[in-house]
Structure 1
């Protein structure tokens, strides 16, 4: 996490361990888990398939991936009052976050199979469970301050934003999955310099995840 934000304390300020579960949605995605990770780490697709997200985070419409820049958080649109599906006001910001973290979205890939999405008033966490080479169960949790959950306030607008993002992303991954059977994709395809962070993920997979050939070796 320090590698992503440049400061491990930046994550601690959100107090993730003390947050309460507001909503959990499970997605049965017909795609390999590594493809889902790649999708999360880049944003070329954001302008074309994430209209709600780019309304709240306009820099994503330019294809900028938050994870490309160490310590960078995508700034909310000036007119957005919260990280919600319609830009309406959310909840009180977490007491521990710094002023420079307010009205910012941070995305973190915790290798191998966890995503953290940090915004001022809630945290969205994805966990992936590979079921087959072309199928992954993704559990997505929306976490809030305990008092927000206890108050039974309406969470739907903050949940709906990333539920739509998830559905859009997973549909894209499912449509991309068939091409992964190509021999050209054996080593992860072709990357450009701006995808250095995805290249680092490929190297991590190569170093840490056994291949069938390696498992057969004595």
Structure 2
């Protein structure tokens, strides 16, 4: 099948709508591009199209930001940046979790420059404007004049919701519905008592590749046998007994483990919320219980109400920016944030029971070995993918419906979401591209 090789966003931006021509060209490419093929080149390396991704997806959709257990007490906060938008998430009075633009209402300085911490109040380091944890401005100094109204200058809020211990934020004025996601995550994650977990290890790596290539690489294990020896010490290459590649031995293992999980009243069924969210519990390799080098537990203290380490992996997908593995002894959560057309930040956090003792119940270095190796391998794969796509020779290639159905689902979700969000956005902002 012939596919256009190197499509262009050629028309120059107009003065009235600087990204309008890029939007029109993008919609045209999406409309013409056949399902089951990788995207045209500009989707992976064009600066204006990257800006459309930020504005039409990352500023409009619910994104995984972090875990509620990362801010266990009043005053605990975490920060992240979504495109050019710094965000702060903080726990306030009564355990309420707030999210704000991490931007002082005085002259726009970033309030909290660190990734995490604990504060009594939010104080701008520039001129010491001081905010309550619920965003109210408390102090602006006497130099603002006697008529200055503190109540008009509170921090600008960001929509936030908690689902099964996952914190999701949305920058849109009218966020999409999220009730089904919340109910589903709450159900599947209830056995883990996620409020009583803690982060044992954190790793962040910057990949020189477009964010979509990072997600595409994650959504298939076509490459696993040749790239991930450490991971395949424990992980099955497929996670569905209906997969045409599934062996009789795998199907028998699945049936046996599902009976065990039923007896423990632990959810395992494959559940989808459109093509955006996918949750399923599947066995690890027979005889292994955790994603470690030897397949044995990484943490002696199990999570939540679990009584067995042999829980397989609860695999959780949330597009556009997260995949996760919850086992009996520990969990591994992943967050993807785009930094530029060919730069992506991938953050990995390993979670354990909050009372697990480092050096007694778990060894952080042993716990992280498998995914440290896998993340580095995936980084190299995505970067080589990017280098090839940048070539004059690149043209969209066909995905395997058997091995890469997850990639097809992601690209279908991305195309539909981008088309819908671009189509109802009258004029996108001028960006420094």
TM-score (norm 2): 0.42
1:104-137 deviation digits (Å, cap 9, x = unpaired): 1233221111121111111111111111111101
Rg larger for: 2
What's the secondary structure of 1:209's corresponding residue?
helix
- Shift, 1:41, TM fit: 1.3
Instruction: Describe the shift of the 1:78–1:201 C-alpha distance in structure 2 as closer, same or farther (beyond 3 A).
Output: closer
- Shift, 1:167, TM fit: 0.9
- Shift, 1:45, TM fit: 1.0
1:137-163 deviation digits (Å, cap 9, x = unpaired): 111111111011567642221211111
Q: Aligned equivalents of 2:231 and 2:208: distance in 1? A: 23
Alignment of 1:26-65 (within 5 A): 26-57=204-235, 59-60=236-237, 64=238
Unpaired stretches in structure 1, ≥5 consecutive residues: none
Q: Aligned equivalents of 1:198 and 1:22: distance in 2? A: 31
Q: How many residues are treated as equivalent by the alignment?
A: 206
Q: What residue is the counterpart of 2:9 in the other structure?
A: none
Give the root-mean-square deviation of aligned CA atoms. Answer: 3.3
Q: Aligned equivalents of 1:172 and 1:55: distance in 2? A: 20
What's the secondary structure of 1:126's corresponding residue?
strand
Larger helix share, 1 or 2:
1
Could you tell me whether the CA contact under 8 Å between 2:312 and 2:327 is conserved in 1?
yes
Instruction: Describe the shift of the 1:196–1:48 C-alpha distance in structure 2 as closer, same or farther (beyond 3 A).
Output: closer
TM-score (norm 1): 0.78
Q: Aligned equivalents of 1:42 and 1:174: distance in 2? A: 16
Q: What residue is the counterpart of 2:48 in the other structure?
A: none
- Relative contact order, higher structure (CA 8 A, sep 6+): 1
Unpaired stretches in structure 2, ≥5 consecutive residues: 1-162, 164-179, 244-269, 271-278, 429-433
What's the secondary structure of 2:395's corresponding residue?
helix
Q: What residue is the counterpart of 2:318 in the other structure?
A: 110
Q: Aligned equivalents of 2:354 and 2:332: distance in 1? A: 15
Q: Aligned equivalents of 1:83 and 1:163: distance in 2? A: 11
